[in-house]
Amino acid sequence: MGGAIIENLSGRKLSVLIGFLIACQFSCFLLGGLVSPAPTSVTPVLAIKCYDKQYNSSRWYQSRPDTEACANFHSLDDPILQEKHVTAEDIIFVFQIPLPKNRQDLDYSRWQQTLIGILYADILYDDEDPVDHQTVLTLDARLGYRNKGDPINKWTSLARSVEERRLECSIEKEHQKSGYLYDCSHVPLFELGSLHHDFYLLNVRLPNKIAGNTVNADIGKLHDLWVAFIHQNGGFTKVWVSLKTVFFPVLVALLVWFWRRITQLSRPPALLECCIMGLGAALTLLNLPLEYLTLFVDCPWMTVVGDIRQGVFYAALLSFWLVFAGEHLMDDVERNRVRAYWRHLSAVLGGCVCLFIFDMCERGVQLRNPFYSIWVTDLGTNLALAFIILAGICAGLYFCFLSYMIWKVFVNISAKRQSLTAMSSTRRLQYTGIIYRFKVLMLATLLCAAMTVIGFILGQVSEGRWKWDEHISLEYTSAFFTGVYGMWNIYTFALLCLYAPSHKSWPKEENQQQSSQDEEIEFSRLAGEPSEMSSLTALARKPATD
């Protein structure tokens, strides 16, 4: 009987393969921990405040060089503002990035991929002008860019929008004195899915009137505006894309080899084999290093495409684990068809569709307006938090359910091992080795599931922690990201290698040849054409007799 490679591979070869995969996994962690920098960097920038009594919405106000700067001032209490009769309509808050370093102008690299702006305000306490606990901040924001070789005062408009942001401020009772600042929440300002240009300029105004309506009347005594600019580190991107560049061709070659072995069989592919192929195809799509394209073309849609690719992989991985555990429950139930798992797979598909809709509600709209955010209204914030919390709960419940299924597999295998005593010594040794290998693979599956669920939950928290302004102390390292990503690939490599059909047959002892032939006939009748874990399947259906 042939079966899968995991059943027939010698212990020595299996040890070499496992040792190689463990070394690759360890290398992925080391690559992120020792070679790669932190995944992202944050640059807080204090606004340069200037005014223009003849404000022109088509003119760009920049802070460097000084010859092009508008009339600037240090404080909103500056007497010159009263002398010139400057109003809020005339004041512009300027953010020009990246900031110079050691008197040298820096520029962004396309390896840095994304740019996110988070706004926070310094508001002074004033008895005569208190701030409501929840107030609305109305912003007239413009974002422009300039490339190397362009004139220093030539800025091209990238986006402009009038946006409202909910601002929550509080102050302790003992600090309710002049000179103390409110503790105000951070608010999302913009998000760019592609960092394609060298320099960026952000102009922000806080007008008193918009379309004849009074705005910004209850924001208190504004002192300063800050924007935290967050970008992906180029060094991390290079490591990340390097991993994809290595994994992609290797996985494609393994998929071709695996499918050729399947097509050489006289039977149609089993459900588990199709699921392994689907998982490999989804991971191949995720491994495709599209990031190289951003080095040559402006791709603001790259984050959306990345989210879709990762969602497809999550759906394939979660579905595979359910089928993988279900196909080995060994409870005399025929499951080698998709209909047997329609409830499980429908739940996974429904969760992925919900997350896709949530992602499109924000990042999809940001393709047209980078200043858009779903977090700006109470309904949007509650909906976004509900999606994130529900996704985390579902991920935890899924892991518990998968753990329960794997536990049932172990229990059933232990019960079926009693039939081994009735077998010939050769068969008993073969089945003992298969069961031991299968348990190790199941434990690896459980570990991979745990790491994936933890990474998914922490990733969702990382997405939102700047936006809902909770004091969450989470430390992420490049080693975690590269390690988990490497684990997905190595786990899929192992499945493709170990579950491919084997062309070997088990050896027979001469004095037990007739008994082994009888067993072979019985197992072939019970399990059909040899397939993945066909030996364990036959063992579950009927105890073999010597």
pLDDT of residue 323: 83
- What mean pLDDT do residues 401-418 have? 75
C-beta separation of 243 from 502 below 8 A: no
* Domains of the chain with bracketed CATH: 5-39+235-541 (1.20.1070), 40-232 (2.60.120)
Above 70 in pLDDT, residue 52? yes
Q: Which amino acid is at 521?
A: I
pLDDT surpassing 90 at residue 245: yes
In order, the DSSP letters of 448-460 are HHHHHHHHHHHHH
pLDDT tens for 310-328 read 889 988 888 888 888 777 6
Q: Which residue has the higher pLDDT, 134 or 503?
A: 134
Provide, rounded to the nearest whole percent, the portion of the chain with pLDDT above 70: 78
Give pLDDT tens digits for 167-218: 888 888 888 888 788 888 888 899 998 899 999 999 999 888 887 788 888 8
For 368-398, write each residue's pLDDT tens digit. 888 888 777 777 777 777 777 777 777 777 7
User: What is the model's pTM?
Assistant: 0.79
Beta strands in 154-255, from DSSP E residues, in sequence order = 156-170, 183-184, 187-192, 199-205, 209-210, 213-214, 221-232
Least-confidence region, from 53-62, 305-314, 532-541: 532-541
User: What's the mean pLDDT in 443-466?
Assistant: 62
| Cα gap 324→317, rounded to integer Å | 10
The pLDDT assigned to 503 comes to: 62
Helix (H) or strand (E) holding 116: strand 115-124
Torsional sign, CA 519, 522, 526, 531? positive
Give the percent of the chain with pLDDT over 90. Answer: 15
Query: pLDDT grade, residue 241 (50/70/90)?
Result: very high
CA–CA distance, 460 with 458 (Å, rounded to integer): 5
Give the pLDDT confidence score for residue 346 in this predicted structure: 78
Query: Which residues have C-beta within 8 Å of that of residue 407, sequence separation ≥ 6?
Result: none
- Of the two residues 331 and 443, the one the predictor is more confident about is 443
Across the chain, mean pLDDT equals: 78
Q: Confidence class of residue 238 from pLDDT cuts 50, 70 and 90?
A: very high
What is the pLDDT, as a whole number, of residue 507? Answer: 52
Using alpha carbons only, how large is the chain's radius of gyration in Å? Answer: 30
- The answer, yes or no, to whether residue 223 has pLDDT greater than 70, is yes
Q: Given this model, what pLDDT does residue 249 score? A: 95
pLDDT tens per residue across span 468-525? 444 443 345 677 788 888 888 988 888 888 787 766 655 554 444 444 444 444 444 4
Distance between CA atoms of 130 and 375, rounded to whole angstroms? 25
Residue 211 region, left (φ>0) first, then alpha (ψ -120 to 50), else beta? left
Whole-number Cα distances in Å, 177 to 1, 125, 130, 180, 520: 84, 6, 11, 6, 88
So what's the pLDDT on residue 105? 83
Q: In what order do the strands lie in the sheet with 48-51?
A: 71-72, 48-51, 91-97, 199-205, 134-146, 156-170, 183-184
Q: What is the pLDDT of residue 509?
A: 46
The secondary structure of 51-92, three-state, reads ECCCCCCCCCCCCCCHHHCCEECCCCCCHHHHHCCCCHHHEE
- Residue scoring higher pLDDT (129 or 433): 129
204: nearest Cα among 99, 73, 320, 60: 60
What pLDDT sits at residue 520? 45
The DSSP code sequence of 16-30 is: HHHHHHHHHHHHHHH
In degrees and rounded to multiples of 5, residue 184 shows phi and psi of -105, 150
Query: 269 pLDDT exceeds 50?
Result: yes
- The pLDDT value recorded for residue 247 is 93
Identify whether the C-beta of residue 170 lies closer than 8 Å to the C-beta of residue 157: no
Residue 430's pLDDT band, with cuts at 50, 70 and 90, is low
Interacting residues of 86 by C-beta distance below 8 A, sequence separation 6+: 51, 53, 80
* 36/174 Cα distance (integer angstroms): 45
Q: 281-293: per-residue pLDDT in tens?
A: 999 999 999 999 9
